[in-house]
């Protein structure tokens, strides 16, 4: 997990803790307790912290948060500020005859605003996911280039031919594990007695999560069979199979992000 994301999670928790205080004070304000001054301070602290967090994260829902704080409605072809919103509720005293209505609208807007803050992490994850997996493919692409160069230089040398297949194998396997990791997928080892997860376990997980299609899985199984043969001198290999491993492995890796 990136440092940026860890810092974001920590800040969201801090802002949520402030929101809990605001909610408690708002309920006490509704009951008639003399907490308006404290509510105003805590409310402003929460809103400024929440808004800045969304600005710093370049969050797509910033305007929605602002609309919750200062809520405007259409009326007679124009716009006017609603009879209450977060901003007005935390500043003005409540009139007994309408305090329940004021609180209900405040609570609805405040709940939406809090949900926006809590959704920042998921938007950031979605934004960073393609960047990380694209970087992973960029690394894999370089390794596929190396494998291709070895293949063309070593068609007549079985040891070099096998080496080209092994390099392609490493590139493809690492990329699949990176994709699973960046998507937050837990790879289940099957059977559990294995010391660690292998590429078959990674593929099972990616298929289950609909990241890899069953057709792609079948194709990848075929390629990894060739790759395994390259790593074991007792298994016969054919240049055309190694070439397919490199060419199709590169193409599939580019499609699985």
Alpha helix (H) residue ranges in the chain: 3-30, 36-56, 62-69, 86-89, 99-118, 120-153, 158-182, 199-208, 214-231, 239-255
**Which pLDDT does position 242 carry in this prediction?**
92
Residues 131 and 114 grouped into a single domain: no
pTM of the model: 0.52
DSSP per position, 1-45: --HHHHHHHHHHHHHHHHHHHHHHHHHHHHTT-S-HHHHHHHHHH
How many whole angstroms separate alpha carbon 70 and alpha carbon 29? Answer: 19
How many whole angstroms separate alpha carbon 97 and alpha carbon 103? Answer: 12
* Total domain count, the chain: 2
Task: Give ∠ CA 241-243-249 in degrees, rounded to 5.
Answer: 95
Query: Does pLDDT of 30 surpass 50?
Result: yes
- pLDDT per residue over 49-70, tens digit each? 999 999 988 888 999 999 999 9
Query: Which residue range is the domain that position 41 belongs to?
Result: 3-118
Residues 52 and 136 grouped into a single domain: no
Cβ neighbours of residue 158 closer than 8 Å, sequence gap 6 or more: 237
- pLDDT per residue over 32-42, tens digit each? 999 999 999 99
Residues 198 and 248 grouped into a single domain: yes
CA dihedral 167, 172, 173, 176 (to 10 degrees): 160
Contact 68, 85 (CB under 8 A): yes
Residues 148 and 249 grouped into a single domain: yes
- Of 118, 136, 168, the residue at which a domain comes to its end is 118
How many whole angstroms separate alpha carbon 13 and alpha carbon 146? Answer: 46
Residues 89 and 148 grouped into a single domain: no
Contact 180, 187 (CB under 8 A): yes
- pLDDT per residue over 171-192, tens digit each? 888 888 888 887 888 898 888 8
Give the residue from 45, 3, 5, 2 showing the smallest Cα distance to 22.
Answer: 45
How many whole angstroms separate alpha carbon 210 and alpha carbon 193? Answer: 26
């Amino acid at each position: 997990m990136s440092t940026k994301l860890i810092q974001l999670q920590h800040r969201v928790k801090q802002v949520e803790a402030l929101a809990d205080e605001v909610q408690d004070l708002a309920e006490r304000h509704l009951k008639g307790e003399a907490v308006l001054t404290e509510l105003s301070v805590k409310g402003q602290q929460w809103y400024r912290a929440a808004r800045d967090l969304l600005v710093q994260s370049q969050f797509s829902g910033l305007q929605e948060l602002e609309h919750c704080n200062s809520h405007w409605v259409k009326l007679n072809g124009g716009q006017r500020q609603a009879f209450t919103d977060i901003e007005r509720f935390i500043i003005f005293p409540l009139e007994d005859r309408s305090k329940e209505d004021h609180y209900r609208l405040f609570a609805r807007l405040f709940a939406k605003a809090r949900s926006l803050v809590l959704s920042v992490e998921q938007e950031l994850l979605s934004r960073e996911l393609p960047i990380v997996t694209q970087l992973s493919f960029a690394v894999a692409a370089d390794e596929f280039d190396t494998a291709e160069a070895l293949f063309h230089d070593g068609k007549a040398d079985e040891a070099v031919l096998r080496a080209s297949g092994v390099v392609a194998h490493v590139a493809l396997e690492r990329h699949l594990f990176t994709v699973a990791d960046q998507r937050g997928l837990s790879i289940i080892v099957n059977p559990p007695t294995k010391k660690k997860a292998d590429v078959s376990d990674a593929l099972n997980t990616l298929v289950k999560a609909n990241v890899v299609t069953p057709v792609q899985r079948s194709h990848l199984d075929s390629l990894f069979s060739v790759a395994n043969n390259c790593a074991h001198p007792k298994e016969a290999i054919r240049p055309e199979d190694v070439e397919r491993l490199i060419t199709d492995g590169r193409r599939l890796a580019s499609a699985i992000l």
